[in-house]
Every structure is written in structure tokens, then in C-alpha cells.
A and B are shown apart, each in its own frame.
Chain A
Amino acid sequence: MNISKRKLLLIEYGKIVLKEIEGVKLPSTDSDIVRMKKIQEILGLDHDGVMREVSEYLEGTVSRD
């Protein structure tokens, strides 16, 4: 998998998680959960592993602000 595709998956995963955090306003849908599981499978990581990678990727962009 190329780096750009991996980054897009991490971004997509992060966006779904944020929707989940905002649960009261916008409940997670079943399709979101299925998609999260699919992304975990593609990346070969569990939820915690994906979240760690999302965090590392986003943190690496902070100095560009």
C-alpha cells in the first residue's frame, strides 16, 4: 500500500472516531463501525494501534501550522 493511501485511511478512521466522540450530536452508524473494522483489517492493526498511528501521523504535521 502506498503512503498516500495509508494516510487517507488514517484520516478516514480519525474522522469516524471524532463522530463517535461527538456521539450525542451525531451517533455512530453501523456502517461506520463496519468501516472501522475494515480499516483495521487493511492496516493490520487493532483499534489502539490504528489510533496510535493516527496520532503519530497528525502530530507529525503540527509544526507546519
Chain B
Amino acid sequence: MTFELPKQTNEELRPLREGIEGVGMDWKVPIEKIEKLVEGDPNLEEMLEDVLDQCLRYTKSVLDERFMLETEGRGDEHEAWSKSRAITHNATQDTLRAFARNLIRSGKTATDIYPLLPNTESRASCGQFALRLTLSRGVKTEQSK
């Protein structure tokens, strides 16, 4: 059995997502709020770890691809890095979709979830979210010194 979000959800919840997607808003993802959402559920906690790991992999792939482009220019080698980045992007979207689906299954409402997560049907939103989530962890780490 598959579970799909109601079709109207994306439009209705757009204002709630602006904290993540909106221009000029704080770019950092409130990781502690996402952690709060999964607290006490070992399966969701594990899925959040997977999300963090996958977003980190995606961010690395973007940095590697950009580095290759800026230093070597376009060519066969850059093409290979670019393909790798695209594959990692797809995996990131799948991971975020599964996480959102399981949050809904666990009884969380879309109003709980979508101020914090991106529109998982949008490939670009998932990519941007993954970068922000990972880099937000970097801010946290630096501030904790």
C-alpha cells in the first residue's frame, strides 16, 4: 500500500514553507526543530540520520563538481562529476520523500512537517534544502567552539 500526500497540500502550505524557500529569509534550517519532530521514535530518528548523511553526500558532490568546473573547466572529467552530482541529487530527493511519508504515517500532520521540510515533489527544492541543512550543521559546529 502506498501513501500519498493530498494534492492540495503543496499550494496550501506554501506560506508555511517560506521560511525555507523564501528569498531574504534566514537561510539556516532549524535542525533542532526537526530533531524534536522525531524524538522518541527510533525509526524516525534513524531516518533523520539517513537524511543528514544523504544531504551531506549531496553537498559534497556539489562542492566537488563546482571545484572541478572552476579549476578544469568543462570537459569529460567535469561531465563525470556532474553525472555523479545528479545521481546523488535523485537519491537525496528519494530520502527526503521517504522521511516525509514516514512522518505522516507516524501521525504528524502536514502542518507539523512542511514548515521544516521542502516540497519533496520539487527536485530543486530538495537540492536547495539539502545544501542548507548541511551548511546549517556547519554553522552550529562553529558556534559550539
Residues of chain A whose beta carbon lies under 8 Å from any beta carbon of chain B? 4, 7-8, 11, 14-15, 17-18, 20-23, 47-48, 51-52, 54-59, 61-63, 65
Contacts and interface: CB of A to CB of B under 8 A. Distances in A.
The DSSP consensus for interface residues of chain A is: helix
The DSSP consensus for interface residues of chain B is: helix
A21 B52 CA distance: 10
A20 B142 contact: yes
A7 B62 CA distance: 13
A56 to B, nearest CB: 7
Contacts, number: 76
Interface residues of B, number: 26
Contact of A65 (B86, B138, B139): B86
A65 to B, nearest CB: 5
Contact of A18 (B66, B70, B89, B134): B134
10 contacts: A14-B63, A14-B135, A14-B138, A47-B139, A47-B142, A54-B135, A63-B124, A65-B85, A65-B89, A65-B123
B59 interface: yes
Contacts of B67: 8, 11, 15
Interface in B81-95: 85-86, 89
Interface of B: 27, 56, 59-60, 62-63, 66-67, 70-71, 85-86, 89, 123-124, 127-128, 131-132, 134-135, 137-139, 141-142
Contact of B66 (A7, A17, A20, A48): A7
